[in-house]
Structure 1
Amino acid sequence: MSKAPETSAVVIGASGGIGGALETALSEEDAFHTVHGFARSRSGAQHLDLLDEGSIAAAAAHVASGPPPALVIVATGLLHASDKGPEKALRDLDPVWLAQVHAVNAIGPALVAKHFLPIMPRTGRAVFAALSARVGSISDNRLGGWHGYRASKAALNMLIRNLAIEERRRNDRAIVVALHPGTVDTGLSRPFQGNVPAGRLFTPDRAALQLLDVIEGLKVIDSGKLFDFEGKEVSP
């Protein structure tokens, strides 16, 4: 039997709660020759800033020098920062904040795809996944508010669909998906955990394992869709 080709895994946002847990979990497995973790706060070859396309290109070039990445996970997101948070009403809209949220939640992952999808395998199973959110589902929106975050995640979900269609032409076994991790006990969700039902606030370690289980169960037909932490499809 021929030996399976060596591949690597990539985690973007590895300094965050979910990203760090994903990097650790993947490093503890024996599925990949190398696990690369990138973050804005890291230096050298591990530095990647979603707002700096040059750093994204440099990270992709670093990965391309070794085994090709069969798994790329973008585990980043922006919901609040300092005195800015999710808008409750139209009067709270701020164009600068809206642009920043879209830059991190939609444009950044798209630029990661621009530079990383071309270095992923051209044959065989390969998965590109980006963390999205159920609140980015238009059909599931019953409460309104959180304008920038909802809109940026909806934009990400559309970009994922577009990327999936294009990537299928390059590798018909590739899978490009968005993933909803649920509410995870990280800095992103901490101010908004008050109404989380019992048993639905996950530790980063549990969230990472749940997401990796979902990824493992994905099929080619799932490409372009959004799935939650239980592997259930979330309607656009």
Structure 2
Amino acid sequence: MQYWIMGAGGIGCALAETLAARGEQVLLLSRTRPELSDLAWSQTTWHAVDNTDASAVAETCNQYPLPATVINTLGMLQQGEQQPEKRIEQLTESAFYNSLHINTWPTLAMAQYLATRLTRTDQLHFAALSARVGSISDNRAGGWYSYRISKAALNMAIKTVSIEWQRRFPDALIVGLHPGTVATDLSAPFRAGLSEGQLHTPMQAATHLLQVLDNLIPEQSGRIWAWDGQEVLP
């Protein structure tokens, strides 16, 4: 089978490595060339693409047949001077839009593109990495305004696309995946106080996520699933 992976951060590269070990073919889309093992490179085709640029993504993907699975691993919690907000006074319009641009828009853009090529009988799986902090009902700590809101918007986007796809592409599915806390650059400043076993390596996260995704069925589309197979409440 072929997989398309958007983003080559810690989880994106770990997914490519894990899939290569399984003998799968991977199309990896990222702005910078990833660091992969020789085994992974033997199974991976990489294109330099900005995944927030819908036209560039479409131009690249048009060169390939539709895969079995697409996984969007993009995510941004802090970037340059933009840091997670602890108080509402710290929220800026630019940070808010930047979070939406990176955390929400690429999934919608890829869903738009896939909709131009899917047929009613295609059994495609499309997953985007979400986060438990995007759950409205589970928000007990507050803060992190731009990140929380962009992930909540992502979850709503997934749900809304799933409703349309149930009518147009009933054998396809779109879901969110919560990887837990993973030892990547995104989580590096926020790991203090984690209990033993709460921090996963990227390779552990990739294995968990693929186990969940590979076993989902169209009736489970539109929902957010955690790395352990449990549903994340909206």
State the TM-score, normalized to the length of structure 2: 0.90
Match of 1:205 in 2: 203
Structure 1 vs Structure 2 CA RMSD: 1.8
Match of 1:46 in 2: 47
SS at match of 1:119: coil
Q: CA deviation at 1:166?
A: 1.4
What is the identity, as a one-letter code, of the residue corresponding to 1:107?
W
What is the identity, as a one-letter code, of the residue corresponding to 2:128?
A
Residues 1:12 and 2:6 aligned together: yes
Q: What percentage of aligned pairs have identical amino acids? A: 40
SS at match of 2:70: strand
Match of 1:56 in 2: 57
Question: For each residue in 1:177-210, what CA deviation from the matched residue of structure 2 results, as whole angstroms up to 9, or x when unmatched?
Answer: 0000000000000000112221010000000000
Q: CA deviation at 1:141?
A: 0.3
Q: CA deviation at 1:117?
A: 4.1
Tell me how far apart the structure 2 counterparts of residues 161 and 110 of structure 1 sit (CA, whole Å): 11
Unaligned stretches of 5+ in structure 2? 35-44
Whether the aligned pair in 1 keeps the contact of 2:158 and 2:174 (CA below 8 Å) is: yes
Residues 1:130 and 2:109 aligned together: no
Q: CA deviation at 1:51?
A: 2.8
State the TM-score, normalized to the length of structure 1: 0.89
Match of 2:40 in 1: none
Q: CA deviation at 1:135?
A: 0.3
Once structures 1 and 2 are overlaid, which stretch shifts more, 206-215 or 114-123?
A: 114-123
What is the identity, as a one-letter code, of the residue corresponding to 1:10?
W
Tell me how far apart the structure 2 counterparts of residues 114 and 124 of structure 1 sit (CA, whole Å): 15
Residues 1:37 and 2:18 aligned together: no
Tell me how far apart the structure 2 counterparts of residues 171 and 114 of structure 1 sit (CA, whole Å): 13
SS at match of 1:62: coil
Unaligned stretches of 5+ in structure 1? 1-6
Whether the aligned pair in 1 keeps the contact of 2:29 and 2:51 (CA below 8 Å) is: no
SS at match of 1:178: strand
Tell me how far apart the structure 1 counterparts of residues 115 and 202 of structure 2 sit (CA, whole Å): 26
What is the identity, as a one-letter code, of the residue corresponding to 1:18?
I
Q: How many residues align?
A: 224
